[in-house]
Amino acid sequence: MLANQFSTVKETDSSRKNVLIVGGGPAGLATALILAKRGWTDITVLEKRPAADYYEPDKSFNYQIDGRGQKLTDLLGLTQQLAEISVPSTEFYLTQIRPDGSRKTSKLPMVDPNRKTAYWLPRRAFVRLLYQEIQCNWQNQIAVLFNTKCDRIDKTEADKLKIVANAENGRVIEFEPYFLVGCDGVNSIVRNALQEWDKSDRFEMKHFPSPSSGLRYKVLNLPPRFPLDTSGEERAVSDMTYAVRGSFRDRMRSVSLGLLPLKNPNEPRTANIITRPNHEIWKLKSGKEVCDFLEKAFPQLPVRQILSPEECDRFAKSEGGYFPEPQYCSGLYFLLKHAQADKDRSTAGVVLLGDAIHCFPPDIGQGVNSALEDVCVLNEALSQSNDDLSRALPLYESLRFRDVKALIRLAQTAFPWQYNQDALGKWLWGINFFLRLALSRLLPFGFSPPAFFLIQNHRLSYREIWVMAQRTTRTLYALGLILICVFWGFSIKDS
Ligand SMILES: Cc1cc2nc3c(=O)[nH]c(=O)nc-3n(C[C@H](O)[C@H](O)[C@H](O)COP(=O)(O)OP(=O)(O)OC[C@H]3O[C@@H](n4cnc5c(N)ncnc54)[C@H](O)[C@@H]3O)c2cc1C
């Protein structure tokens, strides 16, 4: 499989030119590895963070690399290593800890036994896996510059790219890449440059509403194997998922802790707090206030044994973050025109991948998987066009754009009410979800399962899933209309 995917690459003019990738997150490092595998050399990745596994308390969330993301790890031959450092979805156990201290452990039901096993691991562990692959096998082709921020992107009159980056100690580095890759996340400086050059709205993010956008989050860092009771006899298990229910009932104070599983028992645990932006917890100004609040909210936990005063202080001071609105841009590439006279010069180009082209709240766990799938689609487009950017980049856009659009519609609707932000919204969404599930089991040819389940099937594209979900919506509307007419008919007859 690997050999076939890459054996078509010939030593073309393109494959000897230099590449600059802005952003050393999952999409950036994965693109660097794919290009190196294809025979490209002289690849530089700029990353503003200090290290691949740099620990940022409020960005220490977990990824679930599903079958879609594994298309990329399969291509890179990294799936086995991924499995070794992760908790597999087949071993996903959830323990609920209620305010009275009672616990219930359940195994996540297997919706589809044929579904590929997915792997849970912290973001930094996944980025470190990609970086280690570069260090071990591709050092001659790929240089990753940490602590280096891309500051300016210009296009010269001769249609060349000129990039300015700031490295440590104020050192300024300039690049003139032939191929510029924007993997620099939602606030992409590369996309912003393209927006200025293009003058159309192709590179403008189009925003869509979602019930989970605008929710605020912060992360609490807990020690490994933290105590679950005051005696300290029961301790948290690293590969167990915990849902710790709070004791407050009113909306402005009610809070829960969610902890996702970790393979390494010696790593600190992280607990996400996700609530409405006007929640009481965001008004706490000092570590003491945070500690007092959490102690009352979670009487079942020995809060003061678990959380140090320093961690409570850090939590109080942290800004945390807000879930973004689902958004995408329609332009995924830009080609620099070149003078007609200069026939020998091949076209330089810019491409965007990952959060730089689509971004949404984490409800459906597709942020990283869709970014890795973008990289696979770019690889496919390069394969089909012998790495000629003038053909490969338009092909990438045409292969990927409709999936990007569908992905954003799915992000808006598939599972946005999971954060207890509104009881009525969650209840209505639940009815819709279980109706679709029941009808799809009873009449599988007429109804599709809920989109949230379909997303787990990596063989279906986002576009196919969205079409299936819409078809079921239309059928449900038609059935509803028929039922209304029947009842109306009966009521007229009776009167
Ligand atoms: C709270 C939260 C929870 C999430 N949970 C999940 C989840 O459970 N599952 C999931 O799949 N996804 C989740 N996501 C989304 C996921 O993190 C992203 O979709 C994914 O990381 C996209 O990868 P990327 O490489 O495109 O972008 P990013 O991960 O954003 O990486 C971009 C990189 O570019 C660097 N960079 C940016 N600008 C510059 C510059 N000018 N110069 C140099 N470097 C630069 C950044 O430092 C960063 O390392 C979550 C996101 C948030 C905010």
Ligand 1 in reach of 217 Cβ (< 6 A): yes
pLDDT tops 80 at residue 111: no
Question: Which residue segment(s) compose the domain that 131 sits in?
Answer: 2-87+122-209+326-413
State the average pLDDT over residues 360-386.
97
Q: What is the mean pLDDT of residues 257-274?
A: 94
Position 298 pLDDT exceeds 80:
yes
Q: Is 324 in the pocket of ligand 1 (CB under 6 A)?
A: no
Q: Verify whether ligand 1 is closer than 6 Å to residue 47 (CB atom).
A: yes
pLDDT for residue 345: 52
Any domain includes 7 = yes
Residue 296 is predicted with a pLDDT of 97
Report which of residues 363 and 109 the model is more confident about: 363
Residue pair 38/142 in contact (Cβ under 8 Å)? The answer is no
Pair (174, 72) in one structural domain: yes
Q: Is the pLDDT of residue 342 over 80?
A: no
* 63 three-state secondary structure: strand
Task: List, edge to edge, every strand of the sheet that includes 179-182.
Answer: 142-145, 43-46, 19-22, 179-182, 349-352, 333-335
The pLDDT > 90 percentage for the chain reads: 85
Give the confidence band of 269 by pLDDT, cuts at 50, 70, 90.
Answer: very high
In a domain, 447, yes or no: yes
pLDDT at 12: 40
Q: How many domains does the chain contain in total? A: 3
Query: Which residue matches tokens 């025109």?
Result: 337
**pLDDT band at 3, cuts 50/70/90?**
very low
Classify 444 as helix, strand or coil.
coil
pLDDT at 60: 74
Sheet holding 93-97, edge to edge: 103-107, 93-97, 241-245, 256-259, 269-275, 216-222, 321-322
Q: Determine the pLDDT at residue 358.
A: 98
275-283's contacts with Cβ under 8 Å and 24+ in sequence apart are: 275/215, 275/216, 275/419, 275/421, 276/215, 276/216, 276/251, 276/421, 277/214, 277/215, 277/216, 277/322, 278/252, 279/216, 279/252, 279/253, 279/255, 280/252, 280/253, 281/253, 281/255, 282/216, 282/320
Contact yes or no for 312/305 (Cβ under 8 A): no
Distance, in Å, from the CA atom of 289 to the CA atom of 293, rounded to the nearest integer, reads 6
Domain assignment present for residue 107? The answer is: no
Torsion of CA 217, 223, 228, 233, to 10 degrees: 180
Report the pLDDT averaged over residues 142-171. 94
CA dist 374 and 27 (Å) reads: 8
Is the pLDDT assigned to residue 390 strictly greater than 90? yes
Q: How far is Cα 131 from Cα 133, in angstroms, rounded to an integer?
A: 5
Does 109 fall in a domain?
A: no
pLDDT confidence of residue 57: 79
Q: Summarize the confidence of residues 358-379 as an average pLDDT.
A: 97
Nearest to 433 by CA among 397, 406, 471, 469: 469
pLDDT higher than 80, residue 15: no
Centre of ligand 1 from the C-alpha of residue 459, in Å: 24
Decide if 356 is inside a domain.
Answer: yes
Q: Is 287 in the pocket of ligand 1 (CB under 6 A)?
A: no
Q: Given the DSSP bridges, would you call strands 172-175 and 161-166 parallel, antiparallel or unpaired? A: antiparallel
From residue 440, how far is each of 4, 91, 445, 461 by CA, in Å? 38, 26, 8, 19
Q: Are residues 332 and 318 in the same domain?
A: no
Question: Which domain-ending residue is among 394, 413, 432?
Answer: 413
Residue 343 pLDDT more than 90?
no
pLDDT at 400: 98
Q: Which of 288, 322, 356 is the last residue of a domain?
A: 322
- What separation in Å is there between the alpha carbon of 25 and the centre of ligand 1? 6
99 domain residue, yes or no: no
What is the model's pLDDT at position 13?
Answer: 42
What would the DSSP string read from start to end of 313-357? HHHHH---EEPPPPEE-S--EEE----TT-TTSPPPEEEE-GGGT
Q: Is the CB of 69 under 6 A from ligand 1?
A: no
pLDDT (average), residues 457-466: 97
Neighbours of 407 (CB within 10 A): 28
Ligand 1 binding pocket includes 28 (Cβ within 6 Å): yes
Tell me the per-residue pLDDT of 177-205, one tens digit each, with 9 for 90 and over. 999 999 999 999 999 999 999 989 999 99
Mean pLDDT of 399-404: 98
> 335 with 454, same domain?
no
Q: Mean of the pLDDT values across residues 411-432?
A: 94
Q: Best substitution site from 273, 327, 355 to test ligand 1's pocket, by max atoms within 8 Å of Cβ?
A: 355
316 in the same domain as 189: no
400 and 369 in one domain? yes
Is residue 313 domain-resident?
yes
Residue 23 CB–ligand 1 contact under 6 Å:
yes
Q: To test ligand 1's pocket by mutation, which of 48, 175, 186 has the most ligand atoms within 8 angstroms of CB?
A: 48
**Measured distance CA(120)–CA(249) in Å, rounded:** 31
The mean-pLDDT minimum among 22-31, 220-229, 252-261, 345-354 falls in 345-354
My answer on whether 280 and 358 are in the same domain is no
In the numeric block, the tokens 């989970």 are attached to 212
Which of 55, 72, 168, 184, when mutated, tests ligand 1's pocket best, judged by the most ligand atoms within 8 Å of its CB?
A: 184
Residue 495, pLDDT score? 73
User: Is a pLDDT exceeding 70 seen at residue 398?
Assistant: yes
Q: Residue 416 and residue 400: Cα distance in Å, rounded?
A: 24
180 alpha carbon – ligand 1 mean position (Å): 19
Task: Determine if ligand 1 sits within 6 Å of the CB of residue 61.
Answer: yes
24 lines ligand 1 (CB under 6 A): yes
Mean pLDDT score across all residues of the chain: 92
Beta bridge partners of 144: 45
Provide the pLDDT confidence category of residue 110 given band limits of 50, 70 and 90. low
Q: What is the mean pLDDT of residues 353-381?
A: 98
Q: Same domain, yes or no, for 406 and 273?
A: no
Q: What's the burial of 487, exposed, middle or buried (CB within 10 Å: 0-12/13-18/19+)? A: exposed
CATH of the domain at 22: 3.50.50.60
What is the 360 CA–ligand 1 centroid distance (Å)?
A: 11
67 and 153 both lie in a single domain: yes
pLDDT at 59 over 80: no
Average pLDDT on 281-293 reads 97
What six digits make up the tokens of 386? Answer: 């012998």
Give the C-alpha separation, 390 to 388, whole Å: 6
In this prediction, residues 62-87 reach a mean pLDDT of: 97
pLDDT of residue 344: 47
225 vs 61 pLDDT, higher one? 225
Is residue 2 scored above 80 in pLDDT?
no
Domain boundary among 322, 349, 372: 322
Rounded to whole angstroms, the Cα distance separating 11 from 102 reads: 64
Cβ burial, residue 356 (10 Å; 0-12/13-18/19+): buried
Distance CA 90, CA 71 (A): 19
Closest CA to ligand 1's atom 12 = 367
**pLDDT value of residue 330:** 97
| Predicted local distance difference test score (pLDDT) of residue 338 | 60
Same domain, residue pair 389 and 286: no
pLDDT tens, position by position, 88-102: 999 999 999 999 999
Task: Tell which phi-psi region holds residue 320, choosing left (phi > 0), alpha (psi between -120 and 50) or beta.
Answer: left
- The answer to whether residues 244 and 286 belong to one domain is yes
Mean pLDDT along residues 369-394:
97
| 183 and 55 share one domain | yes
DSSP, collapsed to helix, strand or coil, labels residue 418 as coil
Which strands, in side-by-side order, build the sheet including 119-122? 62-65, 119-122, 87-88
- For the chain, what percent of residues have pLDDT higher than 70? 94
129 in a structural domain: yes
Determine the average pLDDT of the residues in 311-315: 96
Tell me, yes or no, whether 477 and 342 share the same domain: no
379 near 75, Cβ under 8 Å? yes
Q: Is 25 in the pocket of ligand 1 (CB under 6 A)?
A: yes
Q: What is the largest distance, in Å, between two alpha-carbon atoms of the chain?
A: 86
Long-range Cβ contacts of 440-443 (<8 Å, 24+ apart): 440/472
Mean pLDDT of 277-305: 96
